[in-house]
Amino acid sequence: MICSASRAAAIALSDAGVKVITHVPGYGGNEIIADYESATGKKITISFNEEPALTIAHGAAIAGARSAAVIKTHGLTKGANSILDSLYTDLTAGMVILAGDDPAGSHSDNIFEVDKFLEGISIPFRQAWGHIYQDIQECYELSEELRLPVVLLVNAGGLSYQCEFERKKEAAVPREYQRNVISHVVHPYFAIDQYKRFCEKIYNGVFPGHEESEVPDLDHVLPKQYKRTVNIYRPVFEVFNNYRGKIVTGDTSITSSFALPPYNSIDIVTHLGGSVPLALGVMLAGFQDVWAVTGDFGFLSMGMNGVMEALNRGLNPKILIFNNGSAGATGGQLINNGLLNKALEPFSEYVKEINISYESENLPEFFAEIKESRKLRIGRIITAD
């Protein structure tokens, strides 16, 4: 088959069985997405920021659906927080980041040597050189071999050039998500082990296995400075476990400790504020009744972007915000509570509040109403007077 490189890339994504595609408009990516929509008749919803776009794709790949993020190379730096944490998880299905490069700076505000950046963060990457269809297929194979995301750099200026390839349309191998805390929860306690596993993948090309039995109880690993807050949260998670969905996502905060036994309340955790876009990726992979757990600091950091993504895509996750008025995981810095009020004001029709300081007995009703709702729900759990 002979066609333009951008159309070859679009066909490759279709033939590889990619289920979830996120896209932030930019030079190179625009051409690929336009050809994808033309070739498949599917409409791709745009994202406005690379960090949630990458996290949505990451959540989908963990949940078992092949995914792609189609962005500019400059956007890789904006989404670096998401990329870095994705390297310390194990994907269930392949994830490829198609990054449109603009080495001449013809459509960019500066010239960016992206290869130096990618080498610095040690993510696997390839450069497309005239065989983009095969390159995409091979990137998915590599991603699933290492269970890591892979970047394919695409020279945006060359996407109009003709290329020849032989189609290889094969259904993606079904990959079933299985809960595994060490594989899917980025947490300080696991940092050394996850880094060693990452090095095995990158430097030795080996995917090391591990067992769920390696996960310690929460109380065995809980830092002293977290204990007071965790003790306040315990009764909330004890009730929450009776209402939680199939998959619960979180972000790097004190609440992520409840991924550990005996609670096992959270399943996937990455960067601060990443819980909501992770949940959206899981939903796009085919799961329903998905919950996202975050804190007020994390929500203000990036959770609002996640809510906008949900509204833009017509998705209805259940979002829990633990509102304690401080950045508990980073030293207890105080948060102006008025900021969270203002941030939630545009979403007031979706918000339900409870103050567990004096109405904890209403937690079952609180969670039941959120679970039974068919629309987006944001549960604000106030833990401070």
N-terminal to C-terminal alpha carbon distance within the chain: 66
User: Is this prediction's pTM over 0.75?
Assistant: yes
Half-sphere exposure (Cβ direction) of 160: Cα atoms closer than 13 Å = 2
Q: What pLDDT is stored for residue 330 in this prediction? A: 67
Cβ contact 33:2 at 8 Å: no
Q: Confidence class of residue 253 from pLDDT cuts 50, 70 and 90?
A: confident
pLDDT at res. 277: 97
Q: What pLDDT shows up at residue 382?
A: 93
Sheet with 318-323, strands from edge to edge, namely 268-270, 247-251, 290-295, 318-323, 377-382, 351-355
Q: Is the dihedral of CA 8, 21, 156, 154 positive or negative?
A: negative
Amino acid at 206: V
* Whether pLDDT at 130 is above 90: no
Range of lowest pLDDT (48-57, 145-154, 195-204): 195-204
Tell me what the mean pLDDT of segment 160-165 comes to. Answer: 92
DSSP summary character for residue 98: E
User: Helices 304-313 and 275-284, interaxial angle, to 10°?
Assistant: 20
Tell me the pLDDT of the chain averaged across its residues: 92
| DSSP per-residue string spanning 209-272 | ---GGGPPPHHHH--GGGHHHHHHHHHHHHHHTTT--SEEEEESSGGGGGGSTTT----EEEST
Model confidence band, residue 208 (pLDDT cutoffs 50, 70, 90): confident
Whether 210 shows a pLDDT value over 60: the answer reads: no
With a pLDDT cut of 90, the percent of the chain lying above it is: 76
| The pLDDT of residue 189 is above 90 | no
Q: Backbone dihedral region of 100: left (phi > 0), alpha (psi from -120 to 50 degrees) or beta? A: beta
Percent of the chain with pLDDT over 70: 95
Average pLDDT over residues 72-94: 95
Query: Which CA distances in Å does 49 have to 39, 308, 374?
Result: 26, 11, 27
Nearest by Cα to 220 from 210, 230, 209: 230
Contacts of 103 (CB under 8 A, 6+ apart): 111, 155, 157
Q: Name the one residue in this structure whose structure tokens are 């079904």.
A: 174
Q: Could you read off the pLDDT of 111-126 as tens digits, one per residue?
A: 889 999 999 999 999 9
Q: How many CA atoms lie within 13 A of 129 on its CB side?
A: 3
23 sits in which H/E element: strand 20-23
Query: Is 211 a residue whose pLDDT tops 60?
Result: no
Question: For residue 134, what are its two tokens?
Answer: 């095969």
**Cβ-Cβ contacts under 8 Å for 361 (sequence gap 6 or more):** none
The predicted pLDDT at position 112 comes to: 87
- Does residue 287 surpass a pLDDT of 90? yes
Kindly report, residue by residue over 327-378, the tens digit of the pLDDT.
Answer: 666 666 777 878 899 999 999 999 999 999 889 999 999 999 999 999 999 9
Residue 205 exposed, middle or buried by CB count within 10 Å (0-12, 13-18, 19+): exposed
Q: Is the pLDDT of residue 305 over 60?
A: yes
Chain centroid to CA 253: how far?
Answer: 16
pLDDT at site 352: 97
Q: How many CB atoms lie within 10 A of CB 29?
A: 26
Instruction: Tell me the pLDDT tens digit for each residue of 216-236.
Output: 899 888 888 788 889 999 999
What single string gives the DSSP state of each residue in 149-210? Answer: -EEEEEEGGGTTSEEE------PPPP------HHHHB--GGGHHHHHHHHHHHHHH------
Closest by Cα among 112, 137, 131, 176 to 12: 137
Q: pLDDT, tens digit, for every residue of 66-81?
A: 999 999 999 999 999 9
Kindly report the backbone phi and psi dihedral angles of residue 295, in degrees, each rounded to the nearest multiple of 5, phi listed first: -115, 175
